[in-house]
Structure 1
Amino acid sequence: MALIAFNELDHALNKAELISYPLSQPSESALFVTWKIKGDLRGCIGTFIPQPTIDLVRKYALIAALQDPRFDPISPQEFKQLDCTVTFLGPLEPIEKDDWIIGEDGLKATFPGNKSATFLPEVALEQNWTKHETYEMLARKAGAMGLSGMKLMKYKGTKDSMDYNEYIKTKQN
């Protein structure tokens, strides 16, 4: 699915031909598309609502690359430096605080005032955060005024990743 995300962004930035690929994932998924350059985040957006997989990958490949409000849009000059990961999300499971494993479980937190945020399973591990630091960062990301009233859900994620060079090799075959 990372191949489809790359191809969609290549088409948007460089007018590359869209290629049809056989569907090898479940027909409906909840997912996030993540773009990085040299390990630095350049965009990550997705949905917890399962929808047709290929449509979601194509949609969120572009939204994450071009419309993530935390970043400037990815430019054509950056395209050759990109890594892409499509993370397929498992079901959300309500949990009590600390009933999750760093690096294994993703977290979705909701706060009073209809505020929410999520971190994919690898984020706390990559950032070397403790569980409490993760809660604080979720609150900050959600725009919440603290941890009071926070409700947590955890989920698993399955990743499909590729970098620009893998994309070009696969596209040529």
Structure 2
Amino acid sequence: MSKTLSCYAFETLINKLQTDSKKIPLSSYFEILGEDSSKLPASAPLFITWNKNQSLRGCIGTFQSLPISSGVSKFAINSAFQDPRFPPIKAKELDSLSVSVTLLDNFREIKNANDWTIGLNGLKISFELDGDYYSGTFLPSVAEDEEWDKITTLYYLLKKADYSIAKSNVAEFYKNGLDEGWLKLVKYDGLKQGVTYEEFNKIRNEI
């Protein structure tokens, strides 16, 4: 996975926060890092995650396949300024930020709630109950980073979808939903790479 995309996410944020800054193109980061752009897909679903002092500061993405350059640029801004869980990122926070870009691929619907691997697969859930629609997702790194087992991950996935349930009922809920066909569970792969602001700034200064 390419550090170039993470640098470009930071570049986009810098350009937004510092209006006098001239935006460096994505191609310049590929060149300075010696990375081959042809090894990445031309377009892909993707998520941008900002962290501050190793704690989540914003994460937004899309399951729609977008051109890499415009997709990273768009969601670097969306995740920095439009995540409803957090206030918009400010320039004074830059020194404490890191960013990661995750490209998504290989989506497969599964019929067994345990048919996925922690650290390898992301999960996307969707279902409708009593006239209400629920959906949510966790990127492949979430369960591993949080040190969750599978049942804990599945429990928090329901909470992410804004559905309340006792943890003791989670296994039965998934089994019934998958067996009866009203619950859809999809696993997917993700390629992730990130940089800290310090790393990004050193690379930027070389351009």
Report the TM range for the smaller structure's normalisation.
over 0.9
Which one-letter code corresponds to 2:153 in the other structure?
A: T
Q: Deviations over 1:135-157 (max 9, x none)?
A: 11111111124454342111111
Q: Deviations over 1:34-74 (max 9, x none)?
A: 00012100001101110111111000000101110111111
Aligned residue in 2 for 1:8: 12
Q: Which has the higher helix share?
A: 2
| Paired position in structure 2 for 1:114 | 133
SS at match of 1:30: strand
Question: How is 1:20-169 mapped onto 2 (pairs within 5 angstroms)?
Answer: 20-22=25-27, 24=37, 25-95=40-110, 96-112=112-128, 113-146=132-165, 148=173, 149=177, 150-169=183-202
Equivalent AA in structure 1 for residue 94 of structure 2: F
SS of 2:84 mapped into structure 1: coil
Gaps of 5+ in 2: 31-36, 178-182
CA distance in 1, matches of 2:204, 2:100: 17
Structure label with greater radius of gyration: 2
RMSD: 1.4
Runs of 4+ with deviation above 4 angstroms:
none
Q: Is the 8 A contact 2:107 2:188 kept in 1?
A: yes
Distance in 2 (CA, whole Å) between partners of 1:17 and 1:107 is 38
Structure 1 position 160, deviation (Å): 2.2
Task: Give percent identity, aligned residues only.
Answer: 39
Count of residue pairs brought into register by the alignment? 173
CA distance in structure 1 between the aligned counterparts of 2:142 and 2:109, rounded to whole angstroms: 19
Residue deviations 1:121-171, cap 9 Å, x none? 110111111211111111111112445434211111111211101111111
Q: TM-score, normalised by structure 1?
A: 0.94
| Residue identity in the other structure for 1:163 | T
Gaps of 5+ in 1: none
